[in-house]
C-alpha cells in the first residue's frame, strides 16, 4: 500500500515539475518577446510599449526585433547589412558586407566607409523622421555598381539606430556585352600609343628639325613601339589564359633561385630607380607553377615594387610555408596606394595614376595577369598598402604536389 502511495506521489511530483518547467519556459519566452518589444519601441512598460507599437510601422518593429537577433543574422545573411548608430557610424555589419563592400569597418562613419553622400543623407533622414527609406546608390564596391538600399530606423532606449540592407542590382553583363566592352577598351589602349607615334612621325617630316631633336623623337617612337608590343603580348597572354587555351600553368618551380634570376635580369631597372632589393626567400620552397607562370607572377610584383618606389627605397622578397600553403611576399616602402584605389588595382587596365604608369612603361595589365594565374592555381593574391608608406603583396598558393590533377 505504502509503495503504491510512494509511486503515486512520485508520479504526481514529476508531472508537476514538468508542468512547472513548461510554464517557466513559456514565461521566459514571453518575457524575451516582451523585452524585445520594449527595446524595439524604447518603452519602459508593456502599456507604454502598446502605445508606441501603435505608432510604429511593422517594419520598425521588425527592424527592432531584428536588431536584438542581429549577431546570428549578420553572420549568415546573404546580403550586405549594416547596423548604424545615431551619428551614422557602423556598430556592426554582416559578413557579406565585409567581404563584398571591402571598405566598411566597425566604428567608422558610413560616408567614410562607402563614399555615398546620397546614402548618408537618406540614413540621417530615416533616423530623423523615424521613417524607412529606399533608394538606389552607387558604392565603391566592384567599380561603383548600383545597390538598392533599404533603411529601417528604430529606437533603441533613448537613442536611434537603423539597419541598412543593401543589394547589388547591377544586371550581370552578357558575354557579348563583355566582349564588346573589352574590344572598346583594348582599342582605346592601343590607340593612345599609336596616336603618339603618329605625331612624332609627322614632326620628323620637318626637314629643318635639328639632328639631336630628331634622335630624341626616334627614341620616343622606339619606346612607344616597345610599349605597344608589350601591350599586345599581354592582351594575348591574358586572353589565352582566360579562354583556358594557354599551356598548362602547373609545374614546380623553386622560388629562391627564380627570385635571384629575376633580380639579375632587372639589374638595370634596379640601378635606374636606385632601389635596394633583398631576396630573403629561404631555400627549398617551391611554387606549384611552371617556370614561365612563376616568373610572370614574381617578375610583375617585383617590377611594380621597384617602379613605384622612390629613390633609395627598399624592396624585400620573403616567403614561408604554413600547413599546406606556401606564401610569398613582395614588400616595398614606396609611394603606396590610396585606400580608394586599392580594391581596384587587380582590374584590367586599372592604373592609379595613368600618366605615371605610362611613363614607367606600364600597361595596367600586370596585376590582373598575376591574379589570374594565382587564382587558376587555387591560390589568392592580396594587397596591403598605405599611401606614402609602401605596399605589401602576398601570394598564397597550395604547396607543390597537393594541387588537383
Ligand atoms: P602597371 O602596368 O600600370 O604597373 P599593374 O596592373 O601592374 O599595372 O598595376 C596596376 C596599378 O597598381 C599601377 O598602375 C599602380 O598604380 C598600382 N601599383 C601596383 N603595384 C604597386 C606598388 N608596389 N606600389 C604602388 N602602386 C602600385
Same domain, 164 and 181: no
The pLDDT assigned to 178 comes to 66
The last residue of one of the domains, among 246, 266, 294, is 246
Whether 64 lines ligand 1, by a CB cut-off of 6 Å, is no
The pLDDT assigned to 402 comes to 47
Rounded to the nearest angstrom, the distance between the alpha carbon of 302 and the centre of ligand 1 is: 11
Rounded to the nearest angstrom, the distance between the alpha carbon of 50 and the centre of ligand 1 is: 59
Other Cβ atoms within 10 Å of 164 Cβ, number: 26
Whether 116 lines ligand 1, by a CB cut-off of 6 Å, is no
CA distances from 337 to 38, 201, 291, 305, 329 (A): 47, 36, 29, 12, 17
The answer to whether residue 72 is domain-embedded is: no
Same domain, 373 and 256: yes
CA distances from 134 to 85, 137, 156 (A): 18, 10, 21
C-alpha grid cell for residue 241? 589564359
User: 212-241: per-residue pLDDT in tens?
Assistant: 999 999 999 998 898 889 889 988 888 888
> Residue 332 is part of which domain span?
250-405
Q: Which of 6-10, 267-271, 394-398 has the lowest mean pLDDT?
A: 6-10
The pLDDT assigned to 403 comes to 44
Q: How many domains in the chain?
A: 4
By three-state DSSP, how is residue 326 classified?
Answer: strand
- Residue 38: pLDDT band (50, 70, 90) is low
What is the atom index within ligand 1 of the atom nearest the CA of 335? 25
Same domain, 89 and 148: yes
Same domain, 14 and 101: no
By three-state DSSP, how is residue 13 classified?
Answer: helix
By three-state DSSP, how is residue 167 classified?
Answer: strand
Same domain, 400 and 308: yes
CATH number reported for the structural domain that contains residue 330 in this entry? 3.30.565.10
Q: How far is CA 240 from the centre of its chain?
A: 25
Same domain, 63 and 177: no
User: 330-374: per-residue pLDDT in tens?
Assistant: 999 999 999 888 988 998 888 888 777 777 778 889 999 999 999
Q: What is the mean pLDDT of residues 31-47?
A: 59
Residue 281 burial by CB count (10 A; 0-12/13-18/19+): exposed, middle or buried? buried
Same domain, 215 and 264: no
Q: Rounded CA gap, 47 and 277, in Å? A: 72
The last residue of one of the domains, among 148, 168, 188, is 168
Q: What is the mean pLDDT of residues 8-29?
A: 68
| pLDDT higher than 80, residue 78 | no
Rounded to the nearest angstrom, the distance between the alpha carbon of 360 and the centre of ligand 1 is: 10
CATH number reported for the structural domain that contains residue 198 in this entry? 1.10.287.130
Q: Which residues contact 20 (CB under 8 A, 6 or more apart)?
A: none
The last residue of one of the domains, among 224, 246, 268, is 246
Q: Rounded CA gap, 366 and 349, in Å? A: 9
Same domain, 255 and 232: no
The pLDDT assigned to 3 comes to 72
Same domain, 134 and 265: no
Rounded to the nearest angstrom, the distance between the alpha carbon of 214 and the centre of ligand 1 is: 32
Look-up of cell digits 627570385: 259
Amino acid at each position: 500500500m505504502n509503495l503504491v502511495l510512494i509511486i503515486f506521489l512520485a508520479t504526481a511530483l514529476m508531472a508537476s515539475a514538468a508542468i512547472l518547467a513548461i510554464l517557466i519556459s513559456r514565461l521566459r519566452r514571453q518575457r524575451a518577446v516582451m523585452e524585445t518589444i520594449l527595446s524595439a519601441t524604447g518603452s519602459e512598460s508593456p502599456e507604454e510599449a502598446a502605445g508606441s507599437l501603435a505608432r510604429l510601422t511593422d517594419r520598425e518593429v521588425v527592424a527592432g526585433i531584428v536588431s536584438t537577433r542581429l549577431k546570428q543574422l549578420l553572420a549568415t545573411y546573404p546580403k550586405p547589412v549594416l547596423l548604424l548608430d545615431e551619428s551614422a557610424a557602423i556598430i556592426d555589419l554582416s559578413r557579406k558586407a565585409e567581404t563584398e563592400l571591402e571598405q566598411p569597418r566597425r566604428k567608422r562613419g558610413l560616408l567614410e566607409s562607402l563614399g555615398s553622400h546620397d546614402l548618408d543623407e537618406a540614413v540621417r533622414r530615416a533616423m530623423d523622421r523615424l521613417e524607412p527609406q529606399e533608394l538606389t546608390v552607387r558604392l565603391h564596391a566592384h567599380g561603383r555598381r548600383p545597390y538598392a538600399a533599404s533603411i529601417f530606423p528604430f529606437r533603441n532606449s533613448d537613442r536611434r539606430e537603423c539597419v541598412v540592407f543593401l543589394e547589388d542590382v547591377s544586371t550581370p553583363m552578357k558575354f557579348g556585352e563583355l566582349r564588346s566592352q573589352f574590344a572598346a577598351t583594348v582599342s582605346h589602349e592601343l590607340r593612345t600609343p599609336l596616336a603618339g607615334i603618329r605625331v612624332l612621325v609627322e614632326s620628323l617630316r620637318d626637314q629643318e628639325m635639328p639632328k639631336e631633336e630628331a634622335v630624341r623623337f626616334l627614341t620616343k617612337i622606339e619606346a612607344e613601339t616597345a610599349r605597344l608590343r608589350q601591350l599586345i603580348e599581354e592582351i594575348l597572354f591574358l586572353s589565352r589564359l582566360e579562354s583556358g587555351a594557354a599551356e598548362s600553368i602547373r609545374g614546380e618551380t623553386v622560388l629562391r633561385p627564380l627570385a635571384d634570376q629575376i633580380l639579375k635580369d632587372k639589374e638595370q631597372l634596379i640601378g635606374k630607380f636606385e632601389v635596394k632589393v633583398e631576396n630573403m626567400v629561404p631555400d627549398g620552397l617551391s611554387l606549384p607553377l611552371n617556370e614561365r607562370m612563376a616568373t610572370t607572377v614574381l617578375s610583375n610584383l617585383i617590377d611594380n615594387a621597384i617602379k613605384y618606389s622612390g629613390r633609395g627605397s627598399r624592396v624585400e622578397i620573403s616567403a614561408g610555408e604554413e600547413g599546406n600553403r606556401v606564401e610569398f611576399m613582395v614588400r616595398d616602402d614606396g609611394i603606396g596606394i590610396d585606400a580608394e584605389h586599392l580594391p581596384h588595382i587587380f582590374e584590367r587596365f586599372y592604373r592609379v595614376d595613368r600618366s605615371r604608369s605610362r611613363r614607367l612603361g606600364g600597361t595596367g595589365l600586370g596585376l590582373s595577369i598575376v591574379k589570374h594565374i594565382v587564382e587558376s592555381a587555387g591560390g589568392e593574391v592580396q594587397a596591403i598598402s598605405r599611401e606614402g608608406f609602401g605596399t605589401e603583396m602576398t601570394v598564397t598558393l597550395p604547396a607543390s604536389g597537393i594541387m588537383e590533377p
